Chains A and B, each alone.
Chain A
């Protein structure tokens, strides 16, 4: 796995985002280069929710930030609303920013502790001169109502007065302020209690329907993305393993790594809680990834071919793509 290829790109449809051969590398020192994302391609149609799933260090967050050019990727292309972002001059890139927003994992660190909620939400509106103070105030109330917070109660409070779930609601409200086309949600619920996770996931769904959003949902937990996504892309060590609709991915798992992810989801049932298909160890260092298929060092089905040759994404069922020499049949 952990292959390249573009078999999963769709030729037509109303595309919001097309990412091709995106590579992000960080130079740590003279000869140490972290290959965070290596040649990832995917597309995103209007109204879709693409889930990007993988362990820490698989490059999923880096990929999300690279799409927003924060920072710019090392190579590859990011085409957003028919505009190539990687070569766009600074000023024009800035003009694109309102259309693409991001929500972060840490709900508390996402909000400036010194600013009251009204200022947090007013910031994007002021930056883009969206109306006078009265209009901005009205917009803030509308946003807070949309995320089910009472404007009268929360407007003047600061982030430390809120619980994690409430902070995440405020972050979502902020990301909606500029009427974006696409929002990248980077692990928006993994810092929250299980009981609050469901609330935030539902809220994201509601916002998507209400504002006609296209979402990228980054998570390490397949169960979390199951309910909200229309397409799932599994990543490992900077490469794509498997792309499929969520049901197919769960019911008809083809990649050995995806199987491990599925098997790791804790099941609240003592009779079924025995872990199955558990993979041992942790991913190798992205500074020196394995040759061929990057997953081979932890893969139960690895052969010599996996070390020699990098698997390409290929279609195994309609809309189901896998990058593996020996997929689970």
Chain B
């Protein structure tokens, strides 16, 4: 064993003693976990809350201030309830980002892990494909897909579900190479370890080795980047809404932001509230991802 590990005391303890350290979690972790839990709660159970419908306009209370007795977070200049809008936006944002990151992550991980494990020509092609995909700015890709697959004008309005579907498809395509590259890199590192060779020499089948030895070891890196990806997916969704494509009518945070942008002089909360929700969620995802990575990496760093 390396002499330096002495300093971490692992080597000194020759009789293995199970040490369960209570790690002090950083304050940011609690903040991030609370915020993410709140958003998920609103996304799932938001409909139970005694809030008005998000797409109903209250003509008698246009541009009400937040913390008003009738509308807790106020209304837009058009009379839509802000709280209801944010709750509905949370549902859409959580749904879109979770689905696209999960599907994109699964596909990317599968491609990345298998190509790195088996190497050879397939690996070269996959690497090249990932690089090509990564070189296309994700906003441009989403724009192109949305304007082709969910084309919409006065006479042929695209349905909401179609727009959301194409949006998720484009975000999934963006995620595949990002997580695929991470999975590939981590797999290259782990598959050169001798326990993988030992497993091969025992006659374990390749896919069993991938399932039992490679995937559990590359998972921390993928999970951590996955959380970061959720954050960036939310930002892409917001950017698309501001560009006027994506989800219309204030159904997502980005879309609320897009609608409220013209009213900033009269009702600034129309901009601040959805922008704040996006910012907090993205920061929380980043923090949470960081925490997941460091805590899962602890075991590796002890070696």
User: Do A and B touch each other in the complex, judged by CB within 8 A?
Assistant: yes
Shortest Cβ gap from B227 to chain A (Å)? 20
Residues of A within 8 A of B303 (CB): 108, 113, 159-160
Whether, in the assembled complex, A189 has its beta carbon less than 8 Å from a beta carbon of chain B, the answer is no
Whether, in the assembled complex, A102 has its beta carbon less than 8 Å from a beta carbon of chain B, the answer is yes
Given the contacts A127-B208, A153-B16, A109 and B203 also touching, CB distance less than 8 Å: no
Residues of A within 8 A of B205 (CB): 127
Stretch of B42-50, B133-141, B151-159, B193-201 with 4 or more beta carbons under 8 angstroms from chain A = B193-201
Total interface residues on A, CB under 8 Å, equals 44
Whether, in the assembled complex, A161 has its beta carbon less than 8 Å from a beta carbon of chain B, the answer is yes
B18 touches A157 (CB 8 A): yes
B202 touches A97 (CB 8 A): yes
A98 touches B16 (CB 8 A): no
Q: Which residues in chain B, 129-153, are within 8 Å of chain A measured between CB atoms? A: none
Shortest Cβ gap from A150 to chain B (Å)? 10
Residues of B within 8 A of A112 (CB): 193, 195, 212-213, 216-217
Whether, in the assembled complex, A237 has its beta carbon less than 8 Å from a beta carbon of chain B, the answer is no
Contact with B along A139-182 (1 / 0, CB 8 A): 00000000000000110011111111010000100110110000
Interface size class of B (residues with CB under 8 A): 20 to 34
Residue in A102, A106, A114, A163 whose beta carbon sits within 8 Å of that of B11 in the complex: A163
Q: How far is the CA of A124 from the CA of B198 in the complex (A)?
A: 10
Given the contacts A101-B201, A160-B10, A161-B16, A114 and B208 also touching, CB distance less than 8 Å: no
Shortest Cβ gap from B170 to chain A (Å)? 35
Shortest Cβ gap from B20 to chain A (Å)? 12
Shortest Cβ gap from A93 to chain B (Å)? 9
Q: Which residues in chain B, 182-224, are within 8 Å of chain A measured between CB atoms? A: 193-195, 197-205, 208, 212-213, 216-217
Residues of A within 8 A of B216 (CB): 112, 114
Given the contacts A127-B208, A160-B303, A162-B16, A111 and B195 also touching, CB distance less than 8 Å: yes
Shortest Cβ gap from B189 to chain A (Å)? 11
Given the contacts A161-B16, A161-B18, A163-B1, A70 and B198 also touching, CB distance less than 8 Å: no
A164 touches B217 (CB 8 A): no
Q: How far is the CA of A191 from the CA of B3 in the complex (A)?
A: 11
Whether, in the assembled complex, A100 has its beta carbon less than 8 Å from a beta carbon of chain B, the answer is yes
Residues of A within 8 A of B300 (CB): 113
Residues of B within 8 A of A157 (CB): 16, 18
Residues of B within 8 A of A106 (CB): 194
Whether, in the assembled complex, B60 has its beta carbon less than 8 Å from a beta carbon of chain A, the answer is no
Q: How far is the CA of A209 from the CA of B194 in the complex (A)?
A: 26
B299 touches A160 (CB 8 A): yes
Q: How far is the CA of A158 from the CA of B299 in the complex (A)?
A: 9
Please give the residue numbers on chain B whose beta carbons come within 8 Å of chain A beta carbons, in ascending order.
1, 10-11, 14-16, 18, 193-195, 197-205, 208, 212-213, 216-217, 299-300, 302-303
| Cβ contacts A to B, 29 pairs, < 8 Å | A68-B201, A95-B203, A98-B202, A101-B201, A101-B202, A102-B198, A104-B194, A104-B197, A105-B194, A106-B194, A108-B1, A109-B193, A109-B194, A111-B195, A112-B195, A112-B216, A113-B217, A113-B299, A113-B300, A114-B299, A123-B204, A124-B204, A127-B202, A128-B203, A154-B16, A157-B18, A163-B14, A166-B14, A191-B1
